[in-house]
């Protein structure tokens, strides 16, 4: 039995002081501290893109289990435009009280800061990191009407027809736009970028053959690829995706420099209290470890966050990850000369 010092063992007031000290939030584990806060009304997850894209899919996968765990309804609110910047601005200007979250992406969270430059409506410090949810490959694909069946054949066809092919993306400044720019840089080819307001419209134009080449996050295009409406040429990760193991990587097709992993995670308005960020991060970690969620994410080609030693995420590790991504994609923007116009 542990003995208290005489000065603490005597008197009810001192015993009460000791108990209060031991129960101080500063001495509790992070998970216990996080559980001390709960939302008092429905929570919204803002998505800076149209429905049916990967950002929207990720938010809707998260909304139901998150709502169940925090005891409040979680609604997804689509605020598309400017490569995710409108959604960013909505959240940055919201009250930092834990009732507004942002499903952030590689574009809005990293690429846009250099792509939009002084026109960027927010700064990185206007948003607070909660945690990374999922990383996914981008897929490079073509309309079945285009007579190419591999990435090597596409490069050869584009070199023989400079400037004649259109390459679509879900918007200027998105990771899909920049993946296309990286492809053009590394392959030495000339294609015309055609931005759309979301992945859905771009894929419909590609299926119709009016846009010959497309880049999209694997989760939102995988159904079209599996059913033959679009023809996959490569994924942009170092390893093949378990969701479509028959599709080679860009490195296997002779373009190792075309590597781009899209990512999706939660942010909140700056000045959101640390206890709130910790609560959401803790819940996110629990949700992405649920077997059913792991199966659903894997079927979409998703990969675990792997930002912490246990394979999960945290506000601190996600913040460091975002800062590294800002630097990486800033260099790609400068090299390509890409603009948001």
If phi > 0 it is left, if psi is from -120 to 50 it is alpha, else beta; for residue 254 that is left
At residue 220, the pLDDT reads: 86
Q: How far apart are CA 265 and CA 132, in angstroms?
A: 4
Q: Is 187 helix (H, G, I), strand (E, B) or coil?
A: helix
What are the start-end ranges of the E strands in the chain? 43-47, 74-78, 100-105, 127-142, 166-169, 192-195, 213-217, 231-235, 261-269
pLDDT digits (tens, 9 = 90+) for 44-68: 999 998 898 889 999 999 999 999 9
Beta strand pairing call for 43-47 and 74-78: parallel
At residue 266, the pLDDT reads: 98
Q: How far apart are CA 236 and CA 205, in angstroms?
A: 22
At residue 58, the pLDDT reads: 93
Q: How far apart are CA 170 and CA 173, in angstroms?
A: 9
At residue 35, the pLDDT reads: 57
Q: How far apart are CA 9 and CA 7, in angstroms?
A: 6
Q: What is the architecture, at CATH level 2, of domain 140-235?
A: 3-Layer(aba) Sandwich (3.40)
pLDDT digits (tens, 9 = 90+) for 257-292: 999 988 999 999 999 999 999 999 999 999 999 999
Q: How many alpha carbons fall within 13 Å on the CB side of residue 266?
A: 34
Write the CB contacts of 269 (distance below 8 Å, at least 6 apart in sequence).
Answer: 91, 92, 93, 94, 95, 96, 100, 126, 127, 128
Alpha carbon 73 to its chain's center? 22
Q: How far apart are CA 181 and CA 255, in angstroms?
A: 13
CB of 284 within 8 A of CB of 130?
yes
Phi then psi for residue 235, to 5 deg, are -110, 155
At residue 34, the pLDDT reads: 46
At residue 219, the pLDDT reads: 86
Within this chain, domains 40-136+262-336 and 140-235 share the same CATH topology: yes
At residue 173, the pLDDT reads: 73
Q: Write out the chain's pLDDT in tens, 341 residues.
A: 333 333 334 444 443 333 333 333 333 334 434 457 999 999 999 999 889 888 999 999 999 999 999 999 999 999 998 889 999 999 999 999 999 999 999 989 999 999 999 999 999 999 999 999 999 899 999 999 999 999 999 999 999 999 999 999 987 777 888 999 999 999 999 999 999 888 889 999 999 999 999 999 898 899 999 999 999 999 999 889 989 999 999 999 999 999 998 899 999 999 999 999 999 999 999 999 999 999 998 887 888 899 999 999 999 999 999 999 999 889 888 888 887 76
Domain ranges of the chain: 40-136+262-336, 140-235
Residues of 158-191 as b/e, b for ≥16 C-beta within 10 angstroms?
A: beeeeeebbbbbbbbbbbbbbbbbbbbbbbebeb
Name 261's bridge partners. 137
- Please say whether the structural domain 40-136+262-336 has been given the CATH code 3.40.190.150: yes
At residue 271, the pLDDT reads: 97
């Amino acid at each position: 039995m542990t003995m208290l010092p005489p000065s603490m063992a005597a008197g009810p007031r001192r015993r009460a002081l000791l108990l209060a000290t031991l129960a101080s939030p500063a001495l509790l584990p992070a998970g216990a501290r996080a559980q001390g806060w709960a939302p008092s009304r429905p929570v919204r997850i803002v998505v800076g893109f149209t429905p049916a894209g990967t950002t929207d899919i990720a938010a809707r996968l998260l909304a139901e289990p998150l709502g169940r765990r925090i005891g409040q309804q979680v609604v997804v609110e689509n605020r598309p435009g400017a490569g995710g910047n409108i959604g960013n601005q909505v959240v940055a200007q919201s009250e930092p009280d834990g009732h507004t979250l942002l499903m952030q992406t590689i574009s809005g969270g990293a690429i846009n800061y250099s792509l939009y430059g002084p026109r960027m409506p927010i700064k990185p410090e206007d948003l607070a990191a909660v945690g990374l949810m999922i990383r996914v490959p981008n897929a490079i694909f073509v309309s079945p009407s285009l007579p190419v069946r591999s990435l090597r054949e596409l490069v050869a066809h584009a070199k023989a027809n400079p400037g004649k092919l259109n390459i679509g993306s879900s918007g200027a400044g998105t990771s899909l736009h920049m993946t296309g720019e990286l492809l053009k840089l590394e392959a030495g080819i000339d294609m015309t970028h055609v931005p759309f307001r979301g992945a859905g419209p771009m894929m419909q134009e590609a299926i119709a053959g009016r846009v010959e080449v497309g880049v999209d996050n694997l989760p939102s295009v995988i159904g079209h690829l599996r059913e033959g409406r679009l023809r996959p040429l490569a994924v942009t990760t170092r390893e093949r995706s378990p969701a479509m193991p028959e599709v080679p990587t860009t490195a296997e097709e002779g373009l190792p420099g075309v590597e781009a992993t899209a990512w999706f995670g939660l942010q909140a308005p700056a000045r959101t209290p640390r206890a709130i960020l910790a609560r959401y991060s803790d819940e996110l970690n629990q949700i992405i470890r649920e077997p059913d969620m792991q199966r659903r994410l894997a079927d979409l080609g998703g990969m675990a966050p792997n930002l912490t030693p246990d394979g999960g995420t945290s506000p601190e590790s996600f913040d460091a990850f975002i800062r590294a991504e800002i630097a990486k994609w800033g260099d790609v923007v400068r090299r390509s000369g890409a603009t948001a116009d």
